[in-house]
Structure 1
Amino acid sequence: MPSPTLQLSPGGRRFVITAAMLGWFGLAVQLYLILWSRWIDHASLLGGLVRFCSFFTVVTNTLVAVALSCAVIDRHSAGARFFRSPVVCAGITTSIVLVSLAYNLLLRHLWTPEGWQWIADELLHDIMPLLFLAYWLFFVPKGLLKPRHVLMWMLYPVVYFGYLLVRGNAFGDYLYPFLDIGTLGVVRALTNALGVLAGFVGIGWIVFAIDKALGRKEHY
């Protein structure tokens, strides 16, 4: 898997550092809000941490924050090279765009967050997707993707959906209402899951097409 060193201009480096800091800040605020809510309800803080780590939004934004951090640190470990890989960055781009689209199309109308929750909500669902998309478009080398990479990226949402269904069956908490088997039934919930997966694949192919188009320009 190719993982060339990113060549960032001073301005580009400042952009990536700012984006990384915003990403970690949004995650920290969301974690605090969940743990504080659990504390107020006298519920298990460990359970709150597990719940926090179970959201697709949180997992994907963590990948975004890690990838942005790895882009500006001068380390050559296997992990840093992995997260600087154009293939991995393109896969994360596909995932974080899905986070934004799914939230805005399926979930935003269900609640009206305020205060710090609104800040975390906007950072994780709107601002970070745009910032990481910009990072991928302007700073990550292009022309290295293959069709098989789109299929490889599918493993992430497939494994996540599997985990979510097992978790929901065990605890009765499916996290996302459009995947709630207890309320919707198996057929409708799985149909919704397949619809989201189809959206992921569609976004993946668009990312692949953009990569090819920009890759040709880079070689001219």
Structure 2
Amino acid sequence: MTQPYRTLATFGALLGTFGLALQLWFSIQMTLDKGGTVLGGVWLYLGFYTILTNILVAKVLSSAAIGPRNAILRFYLRPGVQTATAMSIAIVSLIYNFMLRQLWHPTGWLLTADVIVHDIMPPLYVLYWWFAVPKAVLRWWQVLVWQSYPAGYFFYVMLRGAIAGWYPYPFLDVKTLGYAQVLVDAIAVLLAFIAVGLLLVALGRRQARRQAATQTTPA
């Protein structure tokens, strides 16, 4: 990775970690204000796909900033993993801006945290993905493998909800909608994931072909 992209990765990792830390602080504080515990605040924090995906983004960017020094860092630097991360963080932004933004109106530092995780990190990471991630090895079938993450989150949320009675997003709220409607909603979201994943593979493979053609063209 060239130095400009490593600098971008470092900046993104630091900014993303700052936004996550702010979100964690507010999650704990709001839980304490309601008579809960610190652990309850952390548990609430870890219920949101936005948070889990921004943690994944921070891990990928941190790995890019540090370099492939061990097996864990090399895993996060795999083109497939980095592209799956781009798919997930893009969906975070799309769902928030089209379905959830109007449901609440944060202010102050909470607004800062909200803007970082929903509005800044998604395009910043996709920008990093476009310029820094090698894409010649991307394959169409990988898109289906990448769905294991959102599918796993869905089952995680259903299990949490069955135990605690709390669901992080309105379209997954079994208490209000029932399991049948939530399943329909989940399938619709999964199709959006697949569509974005296919788009990223198509763009990535096209970029790789153009780069290969440029490198083989005589001066």
Query: Normalization by structure 2: what TM-score?
Result: 0.94
Deviation at 1:146, TM superposition (A): 0.9
1:23 aligns with 2:16: yes
Contact 2:135 2:207 in 1 (8 A): yes
The match for 1:46 is 39
Long gaps (5+) in structure 1: 1-6
Q: State the distance in 1 between where 2:148 and 2:5 align.
A: 31
- Residue correspondence of structure 1 range 132-171 to structure 2 within 5 A: 132-171=125-164
Partner SS for 1:35: helix
Q: State the distance in 1 between where 2:99 and 2:185 align.
A: 11
CA deviation profile, 1:152-206 (whole Å, cap 9, x unmatched): 0000011110110111111110111111010012221111111111100000000
The match for 1:113 is 106
AA partner of residue 26 (structure 1) = G
Q: State the distance in 2 between where 1:126 and 1:208 align.
A: 23
Question: Which deviates more, 41-50 or 176-185?
Answer: 41-50
- Residue correspondence of structure 1 range 188-207 to structure 2 within 5 A: 188-207=181-200
Contact 1:142 1:218 in 2 (8 A): no
CA deviation profile, 1:63-99 (whole Å, cap 9, x unmatched): 0001001001144211100111111000000000000
The match for 1:8 is 2
AA partner of residue 68 (structure 1) = L
CA deviation profile, 1:101-158 (whole Å, cap 9, x unmatched): 0111110011111111111111101100000000000011111111121010000011
Q: State the distance in 1 between where 2:141 and 2:194 align.
A: 12
Percent identity of paired positions between Structure 1 and Structure 2: 40
Q: State the distance in 1 between where 2:114 and 2:176 align.
A: 25
1:123 aligns with 2:110: no
Residue in structure 2 matching 1:76, options 59, 69, 75: 69
The match for 2:82 is 89
Q: Which runs of 4+ in 1 moved over 3 A?
A: none
Q: State the distance in 1 between where 2:5 and 2:69 align.
A: 20
Q: State the distance in 1 between where 2:151 and 2:59 align.
A: 21
Contact 2:32 2:41 in 1 (8 A): no
Deviation at 1:54, TM superposition (A): 1.8
Partner SS for 1:219: helix
AA partner of residue 137 (structure 2) = L
Partner SS for 1:147: coil
Q: State the distance in 2 between where 1:186 and 1:218 align.
A: 47
Deviation at 1:15, TM superposition (A): 1.8
Long gaps (5+) in structure 2: 214-219
- Residue correspondence of structure 1 range 56-67 to structure 2 within 5 A: 56-67=49-60
Partner SS for 2:141: helix
Residue in structure 1 matching 2:97, options 88, 99, 104: 104
Question: Which deviates more, 23-32 or 116-125?
Answer: 116-125
How large is the Cα RMSD of the aligned pairs? 1.0
The match for 2:30 is 37
Number of residue equivalences: 213
Q: State the distance in 1 between where 2:147 and 2:123 align.
A: 21
CA deviation profile, 1:26-47 (whole Å, cap 9, x unmatched): 0000000011112222202112
Contact 1:143 1:215 in 2 (8 A): yes
